[in-house]
Copies of this chain bind each other. A is one copy, B any other.
């Protein structure tokens, strides 16, 4: 007989999301999550650095998807084109089947400021990693940071739209449209003269 079942982190993550979705994040203690899968609080904190982190388990895979998109961009691509490629790749991490799951998870996050804070922190980390990858491709510091930040912003807006109840388009399609809108917006400003005033 085994002393412990494998996949403790996965079980904890699943149980946590369910409890958060029903009782709420703050109304659920780490002890409760752990006990619901036959573990102790101490074990919970061995797998997750803090209580919020359990909702972001697996995030590194999304980061990897973005980086893969950077790699597949053609050699001569401009920073924005590289970012567009990263966005396509990152978007593929969320196939349409995943929408229901993403919706419940996001509703939990949206209902708690501390979780929104963590989510933004994760996106900021993604932007930093993306910028590093751009720099590794020869893009200069400032351009890399700006392009990466823009890409992550576009992704965030597109994701929020993808999750809406009546939305049918794929995340990749939405992201492409949002990116185009950003380019249009800035192009308009560039065309209309030097600075405002």
On A, residues with C-beta under 8 Å from B are: 73-74, 77-82, 84-85, 113, 116-118, 120-121, 124, 142-143, 145-147, 149-150, 153-154, 157, 176, 178, 180-190, 192, 195-197
Query: Which of B145, B154, B188 lies in contact with A78, CB distance below 8 A?
Result: B188
* Residue pair B157, A146 in contact (C-beta under 8 Å): yes
A149-B146 Cα distance, complex, nearest whole Å: 11
Nearest chain-B residue to A146 (Cβ)? B182
Shortest distance in angstroms between A62's beta carbon and chain B's nearest beta carbon?
Answer: 18
| Chain B residues whose CB sits within 8 angstroms of the CB of A183 once the complex forms | 186, 189-190
Known A78-B189, A120-B121: A84·B195 in contact at CB below 8 Å: yes
| Chain B residues whose CB sits within 8 angstroms of the CB of A121 once the complex forms | 113, 116-117, 120-121
| Chain B residues whose CB sits within 8 angstroms of the CB of A118 once the complex forms | 117
Query: Which of B82, B85, B147, B196 lies in contact with A85, CB distance below 8 A?
Result: B196
A/B interface sample: 24 pairs, CB < 8 A: A74-B197, A78-B188, A78-B189, A79-B189, A81-B189, A81-B195, A81-B196, A117-B117, A117-B120, A120-B120, A120-B124, A121-B121, A145-B157, A146-B153, A146-B154, A146-B178, A147-B185, A149-B157, A153-B153, A176-B195, A183-B189, A183-B190, A187-B187, A187-B190
A180-B184 Cα distance, complex, nearest whole Å: 15
Scoring A145, A146, A180 by chain B CB atoms within 10 A of each residue's CB, the highest score goes to A146
A80-B188, A150-B150, A182-B186 are known contacts; what are 4 more A-B pairs with Cβ within 8 Å?
A73-B196, A74-B196, A84-B196, A146-B181
A124-B146 Cα distance, complex, nearest whole Å: 16
